[in-house]
Amino acid sequence: MRGLLKQAVMGGLLCLCFSHAWAAAETADDGQAAKALLVKALARYHDQGDKAFAEFSRQGEFVKGELYVYVVDTNGVMLASGGPSVALIGRDVSDLLGPDLQKAFKQGLAAPQTEGIQQTEYRWQNWSDGKVERKHVYYQRVGDRILAVGYYLPRASSEQAKALLDKASAELAKDEQGTLNAINSLKGGFLHDDLYVFVVDLNNQRYAAHGTNLRLINTDFSKVKDPEGKPVGEPILALIKKQDEGEYAYRWRNPVTNKVENKHAYVRKVGHYLVAVGYYSL
């Protein structure tokens, strides 16, 4: 039970512990909806004060799909929640965190009150699909109350894709087999949300590593096609034959949303390998 409570707390409250630069490509509709829900909650709180907590903590106008309002006070006590942390209302949730997170959480609560809505980003398990994903949160402190609404970000940015490609390329150049093993382990630091690395051995045109689908290992990359039957492998191999790096756009399944979306891949030649990382967009 304690473990479940800890997950509920951290899933809802880490936004108060860690600030993060707003660099990710925000999903506009979700972002607007989350911010709008917080604005609505703030207005209700200004009108009704703590009496609004009852509304925030039940299914109704302050719960919109995966979006919900939660409130903690500056002592770390959960005051309201329309999500999984509803079971923690009335408890000092900071006591359920480990020493390091507890310290960071209390630092966040002790921060001076600022004007307007603030925002932050962290990574946590999505309760709807069980996957660890980036979550963006809007919050505002009103007196000794902090009201917040967060949403998950299913798509990484082009900058993040380039950074992962740089990392994979550098590691592969230093340690071929170790890097291939790390990518194929799916836990070696080369899989982030919808970003993953795949590697093709240019000597035989077969996958040497893949960040999400191990069944592709040793299969012929040149025969890969998109869900509509359009060649993907052949044009990428043709591109990398002419130059050491480049870009290619195609349609592919997003492992986070499970939908076929537009994918923009950055590809690079490293020794006798093709290394690729792509980001998704609607």
The amino acid present at 30, given as its one-letter code, is D
Query: pLDDT band at 24, cuts 50/70/90?
Result: very low
Examine the domain organization and report whether 116 and 183 are in the same domain.
no
Residue 25: predicted pLDDT:
36
Examine the domain organization and report whether 208 and 256 are in the same domain.
yes
Average pLDDT, the chain: 84
If you average pLDDT over residues 233-246, what whole number do you get?
97
Examine the domain organization and report whether 103 and 126 are in the same domain.
yes
Examine the domain organization and report whether 64 and 82 are in the same domain.
yes
Give the whole-angstrom CA distance, residue 267 versus residue 190: 15
The CATH number of residue 93's host domain is 3.30.450.20
Asked whether residue 215 carries a pLDDT value surpassing 70, the answer given is yes
Examine the domain organization and report whether 57 and 81 are in the same domain.
yes
Give the whole-angstrom CA distance, residue 141 versus residue 111: 10
Total of domains in the chain: 2
Asked whether residue 178 carries a pLDDT value surpassing 90, the answer given is yes
86-100, 212-226, 247-261, range with the lowest pLDDT: 86-100
Examine the domain organization and report whether 13 and 143 are in the same domain.
yes
Examine the domain organization and report whether 170 and 245 are in the same domain.
yes
Range of the domain at 72: 2-153
6-10, 38-42, 157-161, range with the lowest pLDDT: 6-10
Contacts of 95 (CB under 8 A, 6+ apart): 76, 102
DSSP H helices, 2-150, are: 2-13, 28-48, 53-56, 99-109
Mark which of 125, 153, 181 sits at the end of a domain.
153
- Phi and psi angles of residue 268, each rounded to the nearest 5 degrees, phi first: -150, 140
Query: pLDDT band at 242, cuts 50/70/90?
Result: very high
pTM passes above 0.75: no
Asked whether residue 89 carries a pLDDT value surpassing 50, the answer given is yes
Examine the domain organization and report whether 141 and 6 are in the same domain.
yes
